[in-house]
Chains A and B, each alone.
Chain A
Amino acid sequence: MVVFDNVSKTYKNGFRSVKSLSFRVQRGEFLVLIGPSGCGKTTTLKMINRLIPHTEGTITVDGKDIAKQNVVELRRNIGYVIQQIGLFPHYTIEENIALVPALKGWDRKKIRQRVEELLHLVGLDPAVFARRYPKELSGGQQQRVGVARAMAADPELILMDEPFGALDPITREQLQDEFLRLQKEFRKTVIFVTHDMDEAIRMGDRIAILKDGELLQLDTPERLLTNPVHGFVEQFIGKNRIFQNPELLPVTEVMRSDPATISPHRSPERAISHMRQRRTDTLLCVDEQGRLLGIVSAYDLQGDAARIQSVGEIMQPADPILPLEATARDALVKISESRFGLIPVVDSQGKLTGVVTKGSLLTVLAGRWKEAEAGVGS
Chain B
Amino acid sequence: MNRRSLWEQIVQQLEMRHAELGMAVLQHIKLVAVSMGIAIVIGVTLGIAVSRFRRLEGPVIGTAGMLQTIPSLALLGFMIPLFGIGELPSIIALFLYSLLPIIRNTHTGIVSVDKSVIEAASGMGMTDTQILFRIQLPIAFPVIMAGVRTSTVINVGTATLAAFIGAGGLGDFIFLGISRSMDALVLIGAVPAALLALLLDFVLGRLERAVTPKGLKI
Contact = CB atoms under 8 A, between A and B. Distances in A.
Contacts of B122: 51, 75
Contact of A80 (B114, B123, B139): B123
Contacts of B215: 89-92, 133-135
Interface stretch (B6-14, B34-42, B125-133, B190-198): B125-133
A90 B213 contact: yes
A231 B214 CA distance: 54
Nearest to A146: B120
A103 B117 contact: no
A49 B213 CA distance: 30
A176 to B, nearest CB: 21
Interface size class of A (residues with CB under 8 A): 20 to 34
A92 B213 CA distance: 10
Contact of B138 (A71, A85, A90): A90
Contacts, number: 75
Interface in B120-160: 120-127, 130, 135, 138-139
B199 to A, nearest CB: 29
A300 to B, nearest CB: 68
A80 B120 contact: yes
Contacts of A89: 114, 117, 139, 213, 215-216
Contacts of B120: 80, 82, 85-88, 146
Nearest to A152: B124
Contact of A88 (B115, B123, B125, B135): B135
Contacts of A72: 125-127
A103 B125 CA distance: 8
Contacts of B127: 72
A194 B126 CA distance: 26
7 contacts: A75-B124, A80-B124, A85-B116, A86-B118, A89-B139, A89-B213, A100-B124
Given A51-B119, A85-B120, A90-B216, 10 more contacts: A82-B116, A84-B115, A86-B117, A88-B117, A88-B121, A89-B114, A89-B215, A90-B138, A100-B125, A134-B215
Interface of A: 49, 51, 71-77, 80, 82, 84-92, 99-100, 103, 133-135, 146, 149-150, 159
